[in-house]
Structure 1
């Protein structure tokens, strides 16, 4: 290949080669990770950034993990370690230096050429089943600061030199983390994943040359930026403000945490500005956002609102200006602010606020609100397994729906939450029962909980599970009971969340929204996750789609008639004449 100007085919080949490398890293981690968070739920991301810390390739990654953060973490590595050498590796999880939250351990490896020049950086980010928190959970919603979290914080700490692991660091982690063998297995899987990325980039450079790869990066970023300019030029010019409110938990105002986002669309400049500065100060709880999550949450909303065919990299990001302020709940945290739940709850509310503002710009833009996250069906469960006598800690992914209606299509039912982008997997009931001493007695969609609309939001999901032969601690930070997901452009509100304890006599009692609760033998916990908001007038929904919703058990015939103005015959088929009359 030429090193001056690459043609379109060469650009396409090389971006696919880089994304293929990221997928090899992903496959390595998925197949070798020890914890269920990695090898069943797939809560991890792998990506590649350039030597000057620009995001290049993120194939199959979670948006909240990688849109912003890898660039900041790579820069932190360079700041703390100016003399990078081949064989180095760094462990990073500091939310004050580009990571998302303490539970996301990141393995960072610089790719160094034969002359000792730093060419690329590969990163593998993996959510941990346990990160040494004061409580057996990686999400501490009620932690008043980072000290109350208790997690080990690694600001780009060297863990390998000349490909040899610093065993002192490993022993430190093993002494702090409740499931040391499980953590070490995941740590080794992360090293393997990142080293695969390093090796594959070296092979690619041997094939085409470092100069060609450097030329490619510049041209790919410029191409992506131009695509973004073209797409943003189609937005209606204007300003809009959206807001979304997180339910109150300990450490928040009694009315909850209202997140406000102002969006300025500048189509003539091919640019958009998102302003998050008009939000409250950081709170004495774990809901505060790291800078990486605040910026990523804004970008998620922008890309969700303009279509999915624009490359997500440093080039397209140039056209989105995000304004933050220090010490804001949705801004730039100052140590020792706790960011324990940074990737989900308030980050999702930021995305919702920006999406709602984008929808205000006009029909065909933005999305409805996605459902809020972290109900007990996605809790961290822990205890002592009576079958082995060993302690266990793992986050289960028994299901969250939460998808929102969009201008073009119905919700993605199994989205989990908006920052995840639908990339995590739902756990098999049988595997969760095999690996933890629990019994899952129910997992089903709840009828009439979808956000009604021309395009519907997801229905709520009800899950019930309890311990077998022991007590189990269930840690969660649930949101969306008081502030369920709203629709836009006439769309309806999706189902809200709830959590209850079922006692041995069969009665139920309400549980708090953010807690670690002990479920005793003979009891169970009931988790109801949010649905998603609808987009557009329900009376404009395709009647045949409503018929299918009724047949699938998502919508009752009564709701079809009252909300969608669709009438069914006794045999369950569409009554065309009665429907036309109802909609007239």
Structure 2
């Protein structure tokens, strides 16, 4: 019997059905998760892969979580457990077997039909506020290896059989994790989310037919590959290299960590190659990337830099060749290399290096650098809540702007960081003060810190908070103070990061970039996050948009005049004649 051929309408309907299932999974997790990381910040992802371990649907997910990794984790599940049965569920977080880092717990459930055939795998990945690390944080920049992290590592461990949970594993986690009730609530929410996915895919298979769904997947991947090839045929051919440098922290060279990418565009072939082999060896710290994060970070730059309308799945990935080296900081890690901070810092720098390389190939491609991540405003806070006398550990998301400019538009102001893709939510100040014993004293945009350009990058954000009473610990791995986000194609740099302790006498003490700070009663921490780089020359920006930037409070009148060459009237509107003269003089 020949494979059924689906028309365009049928394919559009079916991919929306699959993405609708992924959205049901995310909605379940968002509404039932116990920790603020899930039910306020939404730091999680849900997706569906085929039985052949090909990424199919990732609606509403974080790019660094899902572009590469679900395929590798599903393969690990199948390798370690050759016989899969309905009712199985697997707990996974090993960065050496396809996961991002130990803090991202993943539930994998094989979707097995009535005849016992494995058809798909559904995955729910959720960042944990605590995963058993030696320190009360899930981002351990100082961890010299995975043993120093101390986190529990689960390489596709069967946690449910015949829908019954292995309580031995649950008890292990409850004894190791500082907030066991919080973790268990998230664990149950993840199980529920993945079971929703299993139920819905089984229902879809019964309705449409498994053979027809299999035919759809193959044709959808082929269609996505053709779309990707056509878009890559528009990228100017050639080779370009760029680097982006992470600030030094303990365990790195004193000059920091340069991340290098060489991009070769082959438009006639509809292909692009990203060579990451010329990077330094893994370091005795937590900044090293897992293979999943290395590949995902490179793909993020490609999709951001060529337009956002290409389907992101195994089909379009066929047109991107990523060359890696085992043992590199951005490559394939060897156990027991620590990958504690794998999803953010160096991963973001890798995305920047690829994006800047694309921008060098031609105008209209690539992006400016996005701001670096993990300042104190996105720290893990912990301690004992004086209101309840109970320990607490939670990551706060009080805000990071960081959005870089693109050739198509200005920044996304609340992007958080480039690997997140703008998918996480910013915490409500009131809710953060309710759930943790902290008080937030300030949250505001810092004027004149945007990456100036034809399209502008985000301005920096200032956040100040401290304990309500007693003491709290604040753990973070900040980047971007020494190496702020750069603009491209004439665009300016975005504002850099910084962090201070404010003493009760109002004096400020600059803090280290990556550390755990104990704040006493009456003290606060001041967090300044990076802005984002600009794209294109500032004096080509639409003067009306500059006027609006001034009215919004992002840009001062002086900066409008000196950097953008835009003169404004007393009322704030554009002085057209004076602006034309300023720009003519600058051009000459």
TM-score of the superposition, structure 2-length normalised? 0.99
Residues 35-62 of structure 1 show CA distances to partners (whole Å, capped at 9, x for unaligned) of 0000000000000000010000000000
Instruction: Tell me by how many angstroms 1:572 deviates.
Output: 1.7
Instruction: Tell me by how many angstroms 1:573 deviates.
Output: 1.7
1: CA distance, partners of 2:237 / 2:569: 46
Equivalent residue for 1:148? 148
Residues 148-192 of structure 1 show CA distances to partners (whole Å, capped at 9, x for unaligned) of 000000000000000000000000000000000000000000000
What does 1:95-106 correspond to in 2, within 5 Å?
95-106=95-106
Equivalent residue for 2:73? 73
Residues 317-372 of structure 1 show CA distances to partners (whole Å, capped at 9, x for unaligned) of 00000000100000000000000000000000000000000000011110000000
Q: Is the aligned partner of 1:274 residue 2:274?
A: yes
Equivalent residue for 2:469? 469
Instruction: Tell me by how many angstroms 1:469 deviates.
Output: 1.4
Q: Is the aligned partner of 1:116 residue 2:116?
A: yes
Instruction: Tell me by how many angstroms 1:4 deviates.
Output: 1.1
Residues 262-300 of structure 1 show CA distances to partners (whole Å, capped at 9, x for unaligned) of 000000000000000000000000000000000000000
2: CA distance, partners of 1:16 / 1:558: 49
2: CA distance, partners of 1:111 / 1:295: 26
Equivalent residue for 1:429? 429
Q: Secondary structure at the match of 2:268?
A: helix
Q: Secondary structure at the match of 2:116?
A: coil
Q: Is the aligned partner of 1:335 residue 2:308?
A: no
Q: Secondary structure at the match of 1:109?
A: strand
Q: Secondary structure at the match of 1:269?
A: coil
Equivalent residue for 1:197? 197
Q: Is the aligned partner of 1:559 residue 2:556?
A: no
Q: Secondary structure at the match of 1:527?
A: strand
Instruction: Tell me by how many angstroms 1:574 deviates.
Output: 1.4
Instruction: Tell me by how many angstroms 1:559 deviates.
Output: 0.4
2: CA distance, partners of 1:81 / 1:346: 33
Equivalent residue for 1:536? 536
2: CA distance, partners of 1:416 / 1:571: 34
1: CA distance, partners of 2:228 / 2:108: 29
Q: Secondary structure at the match of 1:244?
A: strand
Equivalent residue for 1:24? 24
1: CA distance, partners of 2:315 / 2:225: 5
**Moved runs in structure 1, 4+ residues, more than 6 A?**
none
2: CA distance, partners of 1:82 / 1:379: 40
1: CA distance, partners of 2:504 / 2:517: 16
Equivalent residue for 1:88? 88
What does 1:188-337 correspond to in 2, within 5 Å?
188-337=188-337
Instruction: Tell me by how many angstroms 1:3 deviates.
Output: 5.3
Instruction: Tell me by how many angstroms 1:470 deviates.
Output: 1.4
Q: Is the aligned partner of 1:159 residue 2:166?
A: no
1: CA distance, partners of 2:288 / 2:208: 44
Instruction: Tell me by how many angstroms 1:543 deviates.
Output: 0.3
What does 1:27-66 correspond to in 2, within 5 Å?
27-66=27-66
Could you tell me which runs of 5 or more consecutive residues in structure 2 were left unpaired when the two chains were aligned: none
What does 1:397-546 correspond to in 2, within 5 Å?
397-546=397-546
1: CA distance, partners of 2:55 / 2:570: 57
Residues 93-148 of structure 1 show CA distances to partners (whole Å, capped at 9, x for unaligned) of 00000000000000000000111110000000000010000000000001000000
2: CA distance, partners of 1:569 / 1:18: 54
TM-score of the superposition, structure 1-length normalised? 0.99
